[in-house]
Amino acid sequence: MNQYTVATLLEETKFQEVQIKGWVRTFRANRFIALNDGSTINNIQCVVDFENTDENTLKRITTGAAVAITGDLVESQGKGQNVELAVTNIEILGDSDPETYPIQPKKHTFEFLRENAHLRTRTNTFSAVMRLRSALSFAIHKYFNENGFYYMHTPIITGSDAEGAGEMFRVSALDPKNPPLTDDGDVNYKEDFFGKETNLTVSGQLEAETYAMSLGKVYTFGPTFRAENSNTSRHLAEFWMIEPEVAFMDLAGNMDLAEDFMKSVITYVLENCQDDLQFLDDRLFNEEKTKPQAERSDMRLIEKLKFVTENNFKRVSYTEAIDILRNSKPNKKKKF
Amino acid sequence: MNQYTVATLLEETKFQEVQIKGWVRTFRANRFIALNDGSTINNIQCVVDFENTDENTLKRITTGAAVAITGDLVESQGKGQNVELAVTNIEILGDSDPETYPIQPKKHTFEFLRENAHLRTRTNTFSAVMRLRSALSFAIHKYFNENGFYYMHTPIITGSDAEGAGEMFRVSALDPKNPPLTDDGDVNYKEDFFGKETNLTVSGQLEAETYAMSLGKVYTFGPTFRAENSNTSRHLAEFWMIEPEVAFMDLAGNMDLAEDFMKSVITYVLENCQDDLQFLDDRLFNEEKTKPQAERSDMRLIEKLKFVTENNFKRVSYTEAIDILRNSKPNKKKKF
């Protein structure tokens, strides 16, 4: 018996005796299970022959329950799907108590989901975002690999600052309460793990630059850290950053690289993540419907992404860029 | 005028007026430049018409100098290369003083190169290793992407320990000399950046497990940290780790995955990094020649890699594995 993912099964038309494992999204009319296994935003409909299924088992098919379903893949008579699974056997692998399982088939706020971070990727919004993040990461590596760049892992723990990029987190193995002191009364970092004061990196740039001076074209893509206590949507203490460094490249080449790179990764997700993007596009569109017309976006999400891939980037001077920002709508609202 | 890398030029047979930029490896007989740009371990031979080149320029073509060379790609008369560049113009972009430039065309010890870390990737050994590391990283992402895994970036700064995997580095933004204290005289981490005590992660496993419970198949590939003060060749305080987590998978499936994964990434570098692997294979072979026969490896490097890809992995129990290790040669030498 072959085991499939929902993503692969939905591509097929007919199959005898397949098995699929996943989590119940909904179970309605004692008959229709919407099953998701995370491989795609789409569920597969599993049709239970409830008259010949143990009543106790039927009761345990609740939202969030983990199940193993065996059945035959057939053309669907209902709307919304081409194929469905005619269930021949269902096994409950993990129960989900409807009284306590927090992710129910209804709208949850982000604040509520943040409190249930370990389960939030069971929602469409979060799983779509995480699949997109994964696809974008792959597209980044694919782009650089195809363009002759070498990938470097630069150090996270560092004794250097990079261009004074930001405040740093201290990394230490010293006794935090009674650190060893020098004669001058300063902390004696010579006794710390690395024999010197160390921090979390704010950039892999310094190392990447030295490697570009021998390997030609390199890039980093790894976590970086900023200890500014700035609680805004534009700041994270920990984030992943992409840094390409190229020997013998001038500013024009750098701008061409940035444009080509952006278009390439966006094209990749437009081609490979259609269902997730469409879900987020619809979600945003419906959310904006509640706002006054003037506050809505000019373009829908997918339209915006295509606008980036289908148009040439304009080259502007620093002065022009500052002017554009100063005159921008968000800046006029003092929000930029 | 088109600009090429050494890697792309060496694939061509004839070209008028190409430009190439790189670093001089050697310059001999006032005529032959071995030029490398990091794109491959191979150099391109550039033939200078020294009678018609300014003498001052010729003097500046020293090992390590950065140059821009224009010329015609022609069939090579000499040994060791199929094509060479008949130089029509040479521009010195960056001088390299032979008195002070440390990477000369001779054998350097690893200890010496460690002291010149910013330049050591200009050697064949280090550049080969870094290109291989880059190719292996891409092969890892490619494997998981093609097999339906989603890539996750798990947190580096964490308040959790994972299976007590090792000692941890503390991350803090508190004053190291006079940290705020609680009434009990302990460090008051409520006043620290995240409002609690935080450390560098020893594993992304905890987060990956929760994500596997919704996305099905996920993996992490990122830096992890161990603060054990163990200065051996088997321990690093900071290293990159791969952690796949799969829902609904048993031990047999896990072993199949490990085998398939290992074979896949090794096959990738065997196919894509032949020159670098051959260099390292020869290097190791020559190094082992200096040892007594009994201490040499049974197989050469590439042979070993092919042995892994061409044979099935044996499945053994934990007890059997311990027995094998106990009776192994390194263990008998008390080295394991």
Taking each helix axis as running N to C, give the angle between helix B124-146 and helix A124-146, from 0 to 180 degrees, rounded to the nearest 10: 140
Tally of structural domains, chain A: 2
Question: Are residues A77 and A151 located together in one domain of the fold?
Answer: no
Question: Is B77 within the bounds of a domain?
Answer: yes
pLDDT at B316 over 60: yes
What is the three-class DSSP state of A74?
A: strand
Q: What is the pLDDT of residue B215?
A: 98
Looking up residue A38, the CATH number of its domain turns out to be 2.40.50.140
Report, in angstroms and rounded to the nearest whole number, the Rg of chain B calculated over CA atoms. 26
Please, which pLDDT band fits residue B79 given cuts at 50, 70 and 90? confident
Q: What is the pLDDT of residue A162?
A: 62
Whether residue B216 contacts residue A38, with contact meaning beta carbons closer than 8 Å, is answered with yes
Please, which pLDDT band fits residue A184 given cuts at 50, 70 and 90? very high
Strands A150-152 and A83-94: unpaired
Q: What is the pLDDT of residue B13?
A: 85
Q: How many whole angstroms separate alpha carbon A73 and alpha carbon A144?
A: 40
- Å from B296 to nearest chain A CA? 32
pLDDT at B331 over 70: no
Question: Are residues B90 and B134 located together in one domain of the fold?
Answer: no
Question: Are residues A147 and A69 located together in one domain of the fold?
Answer: no
Strands A44-47 and A83-94: parallel
Which residues in B147-237 belong to E strands, given as ranges? 150-152, 157-158, 170-172, 198-200, 217-225
Question: Is B120 within the bounds of a domain?
Answer: no
Q: What is the pLDDT of residue B235?
A: 83
Question: Is B224 within the bounds of a domain?
Answer: yes
pLDDT at A335 over 90: no
pLDDT at B241 over 80: yes
List the single residue in B8, B93, B216 with the smallest CB-CB distance to A5: B216
Whether residue A108 contacts residue A76, with contact meaning beta carbons closer than 8 Å, is answered with no
Q: Which residues of chain A have a CB within 8 Å of the CB of B215?
A: 38-39, 121, 127, 130-131
Residue A181 DSSP class: B
Whether residue B87 contacts residue B70, with contact meaning beta carbons closer than 8 Å, is answered with yes
pLDDT tens digits for range A252-308: 999 999 999 999 999 999 999 999 999 999 999 999 999 998 889 999 999 999 999
Question: Are residues A132 and A59 located together in one domain of the fold?
Answer: no
Q: How many whole angstroms separate alpha carbon B152 and alpha carbon B145?
A: 12
Q: Which of A77, A94, A111 is the last residue of a domain?
A: A94
Question: Is A110 within the bounds of a domain?
Answer: no
Asked if the Cβ–Cβ distance from A93 to B248 is below 8 Å, we say yes
pLDDT at B288 over 80: yes
**For B185, left (φ over 0), alpha (ψ -120 to 50), or beta?**
left
Question: Are residues B218 and B304 located together in one domain of the fold?
Answer: yes
Question: Are residues A140 and A76 located together in one domain of the fold?
Answer: no
Question: Are residues B135 and B72 located together in one domain of the fold?
Answer: no
Whether residue B61 contacts residue B24, with contact meaning beta carbons closer than 8 Å, is answered with yes
List, as ranges, residues 266-295 from A with C-beta within 8 Å of B: none
Q: How many whole angstroms separate alpha carbon A275 and alpha carbon A124?
A: 11
Question: Is A319 within the bounds of a domain?
Answer: yes
Q: What is the pLDDT of residue A234?
A: 77
List the single residue in A7, A117, A187 with the smallest CB-CB distance to B148: A7
Q: What is the pLDDT of residue B2?
A: 64
Q: How many whole angstroms separate alpha carbon A61 and alpha carbon A32?
A: 10
- Report yes or no: B211 at the A interface, CB cutoff 8 Å: yes
Question: Are residues A162 and A294 located together in one domain of the fold?
Answer: yes
Q: What is the pLDDT of residue A35?
A: 98
This prediction has a pTM of 0.95
Task: Look up the domain containing A46 and give its range.
Answer: 3-94
Q: How many whole angstroms separate alpha carbon B179 and alpha carbon A62?
A: 50
Query: What average pLDDT does this structure show over B215-227?
Result: 96
Question: Are residues A160 and A41 located together in one domain of the fold?
Answer: no
pLDDT tens digits for range A92-149: 999 999 999 999 999 999 999 999 999 999 999 999 999 999 999 999 999 999 999 9
Q: How many whole angstroms separate alpha carbon B144 and alpha carbon B137?
A: 11
pLDDT tens digits for range B119-129: 999 999 999 99
Question: Is B72 within the bounds of a domain?
Answer: yes
Q: Which of A72, A94, A116 is the last residue of a domain?
A: A94
Helices marked H in B197-334: 205-215, 251-272, 274-288, 301-310, 318-326, 329-332
Question: Are residues A129 and A51 located together in one domain of the fold?
Answer: no
Summary mean pLDDT of chain A? 93
Asked if the Cβ–Cβ distance from A150 to B141 is below 8 Å, we say no
- The interface predicted TM-score of the complex, written ipTM, equals 0.94
Question: Is A185 within the bounds of a domain?
Answer: no
Q: How many CB pairs under 8 A join A and B?
A: 191
Q: What is the pLDDT of residue A1?
A: 57
pLDDT tens digits for range A2-18: 678 999 999 988 888 99
Q: How many whole angstroms separate alpha carbon A273 and alpha carbon A265?
A: 12
Measure CA A153 to chain center. 21
Question: Are residues A220 and A76 located together in one domain of the fold?
Answer: no
Q: What is the pLDDT of residue A164?
A: 65
Q: What is the pLDDT of residue A121?
A: 96
pLDDT tens digits for range B136-172: 999 999 999 999 999 999 999 999 876 666 689 999 9
pLDDT at B290 over 80: yes
Question: Is B105 within the bounds of a domain?
Answer: no
Looking up residue B225, the CATH number of its domain turns out to be 3.30.930.10
Summary mean pLDDT of chain B? 93
Q: What is the pLDDT of residue B286?
A: 95
Question: Are residues B67 and B139 located together in one domain of the fold?
Answer: no
